[in-house]
């Protein structure tokens, strides 16, 4: 469905479905994830709406660029709607299978989109939200931004292209982010190469205003960069991960997660002890299986193409609902809400390397 060109108000893409809003202003297609009460978590219907609109704008000569954002001030997108995936699996439906296939196709389409995409990463950008923005040409963070691939906390692994973009961050930072699931803020996002520009959230409305009055002169990407250069910066002075980098590069290059925890527990240096202990505690709260598979996936992903990484993630997905810890993680977090997941295996010490390796058996590296 095509949007209203130069419409003064945002139009829902469908009269009965307004979870994705689309409009064109000044040759820019604006897409808004519109589930603010649910932190803009994406559903299969939203994935399909986004894909449909992006496909239409790709063919529309009147649309020069796309801006992607989330409604409200709390989140760009807090990930996929995992409750719907849980319900689908439990009821014997196929929605949980269709979701990943179509979500990954959408993420890949953004990576290869023929027109520049500007992503406004205001608020939480978690999991599936990261998948939507990491293929964008211009990724903007604010002081409210909280980025993470927190899947190991619910017994899953960092997907949506995480096997490609995480291991391509400097040193072992991506391994650290994927295996721990920790959140980072704007300065660290820029330092890791997971964002390009920092803009105060108070200036988001000014950015919109300038985009609405942008005079198109050069290539669309350069024109957009020119607008950002007047309002935003590409570096912030203090990135906490920069100070932690030597420790992260050491511990997260170790052969496996149990070795990481063991050595973190042995740190006695005063200025590192608190971080090391907190990190070890965090790792011991996560799904051992999810962390083991995540570590192997990210290390493989370093040597795979983008398409191969998505194919690897789908290969894991097809096994994970039956063999992984996701269903138990969702039960503990969202269903029974006891926040006491019974992981299988329950401890890192019980994690078997051959069991982890079995998830990768039969993966066709050609991506077919």
Helices (H), strands (E): how many in the chain? Answer: 16, 10
| pLDDT at residue number 17 | 59
Query: Catalytic site residue 92?
Result: no
Buried b (16+ CB within 10 A) or exposed e, 35-68: beeebbbbbbebbbbbbebbebbeebeebbbbbb
Catalytic residue among 128, 181, 292, 324: 128
Question: Which one from 79, 80, 129, 292 is the annotated catalytic residue?
Answer: 80
Q: Which residues pair with 42 in a beta bridge?
A: 80
Which pLDDT score, from 0 to 100, does residue 227 have? 98
pLDDT averaged over consecutive 10-residue blocks of the chain (368 residues)? Answer: 31 59 98 97 97 98 98 97 93 94 98 98 98 98 98 98 98 98 98 98 98 95 98 94 96 98 90 92 98 98 98 97 96 94 97 97 72
Catalytic residue among 23, 107, 137, 159: 159
Q: At what angle do helices 288-301 and 306-323 cross, to 10 degrees?
A: 160
Catalytic status, residue 161: no
pTM of the model: 0.93
Say whether 322 is catalytic. no
Q: Which of 137, 151, 296, 313 is catalytic?
A: 151
128 is catalytic: yes
What pLDDT sits at residue 366?
58
pLDDT at 256 (0 to 100): 97
> What span, in angstroms and rounded, lies between the C-alpha atoms of 244 and 229?
29
């Amino acid at each position: 469905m095509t949007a209203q060109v130069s419409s003064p108000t945002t139009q829902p893409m469908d009269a009965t479905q307004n979870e994705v809003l689309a409009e064109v202003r000044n040759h820019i297609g604006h897409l808004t994830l519109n589930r603010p009460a649910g932190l803009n978590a994406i559903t299969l219907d939203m994935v399909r709406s986004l894909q449909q609109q992006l496909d239409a704008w790709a063919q529309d000569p009147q649309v020069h660029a796309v801006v992607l954002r989330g409604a409200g001030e709390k989140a760009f997108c807090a990930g996929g709607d995992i409750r719907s995936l849980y319900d689908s699996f439990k009821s014997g439906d196929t929605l949980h299978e269709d979701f990943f296939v179509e979500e990954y196709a959408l993420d890949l389409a953004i990576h290869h989109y023929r027109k520049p995409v500007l992503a406004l990463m205001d608020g939480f950008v978690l999991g599936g939200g990261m998948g939507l923005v990491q293929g964008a040409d211009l990724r903007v963070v604010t002081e409210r931004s909280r980025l993470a691939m927190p899947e190991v906390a619910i017994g899953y692994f960092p997907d949506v292209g995480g096997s490609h973009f995480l291991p391509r961050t400097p040193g072992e930072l991506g391994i650290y982010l994927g295996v721990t699931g920790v959140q980072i803020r704007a300065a660290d996002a820029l330092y890791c190469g997971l964002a390009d520009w920092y803009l105060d959230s108070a200036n988001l409305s000014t950015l919109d205003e300038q985009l609405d009055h942008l005079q198109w002169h050069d290539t669309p990407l350069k024109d957009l960069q020119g607008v950002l250069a007047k309002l935003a910066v590409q570096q912030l002075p203090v990135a906490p991960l920069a100070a932690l980098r030597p420790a992260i590069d050491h511990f997260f290059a170790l052969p496996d997660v149990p070795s990481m925890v063991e050595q973190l527990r042995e740190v006695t240096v005063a200025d590192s002890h608190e971080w090391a202990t907190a990190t070890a505690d965090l790792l011991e709260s996560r799904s051992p299986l999810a962390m083991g598979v995540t570590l192997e996936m990210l290390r493989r992903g370093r040597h795979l193409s983008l398409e191969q990484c998505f194919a690897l993630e789908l290969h894991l997905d097809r096994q994970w609902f039956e063999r992984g810890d996701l269903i138990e993680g969702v039960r503990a977090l969202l269903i029974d809400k006891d926040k006491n997941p019974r992981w299988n295996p329950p401890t890192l010490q019980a994690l078997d390397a051959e069991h982890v390796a079995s998830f990768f058996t039969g993966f066709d590296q050609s991506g077919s």
